[in-house]
Amino acid sequence: MIYTSAYSSPLGSILLAADEIGLTGLWFEGQKYFANTLPEGRISKETEILTVAKDWLDIYFSGKEPTFTPPLHSAGSEFRQAVWRILLEIPYGQTITYGEIARRMAEIKKVTHMSAQAVGGAIGHNVVSIIIPCHRVVGTNGSLTGYAGGIDKKISLLKLEHANISHLFVPQRELHLRQGTGTLCKRYYLDEPD
């Protein structure tokens, strides 16, 4: 049986889901793939696992690093599960690139190369946002892309963790100028005024 409960965060409403083993979902209201893994027969009820997850969120949103991880039971392919395990290893307040995760996955799979796009797909389908910290993954060039909850929430979560985001940017638009090898890219850096 799947049980659900709502959590009111400073960044908006969150839906939590759990079974008897662990947390099966954590989504910001309205995010991409919102509650897409929930069965129709779910029950809205507070459980011990959901309470532990809410305690974790209370600590996290107070600006502190939680010292525990709620029990997790997220469903996904073997590949997605392996990527999500790597996400769980990213230290609080730090970032890692899609390329670095692809390199680690290549080592795990004992292959010479792993697609950063395949890794990005697995990260994008993370069903336990925040606790499995997909918001800590950035582009190799420092771009902030690919957060199902929205780039604004990704930035807010990184700021909450006091991550160094001065080198990161949100790509606003790219203008490709085919003059020689040059490409002009307008970047909105996070420390620039609007």
Q: Catalytic amino acids?
A: 134
| Spatial distance between the Cα atoms of 130 and 3, rounded to a whole number of angstroms | 19
DSSP 133-155: -GGGEE-TTSB----TT-HHHHH
Q: CA angle at residue 140 from 83 to 68, to 5 degrees?
A: 40
How many helices, marked H, and strands, marked E, lie in the chain? 5, 8
| Spatial distance between the Cα atoms of 58 and 133, rounded to a whole number of angstroms | 16
| Spatial distance between the Cα atoms of 6 and 96, rounded to a whole number of angstroms | 30
Half-sphere exposure (Cβ direction) of 130: Cα atoms closer than 13 Å: 31
139-to-2, 46, 58, 169, 184 alpha-carbon distances in Å: 34, 37, 29, 10, 17
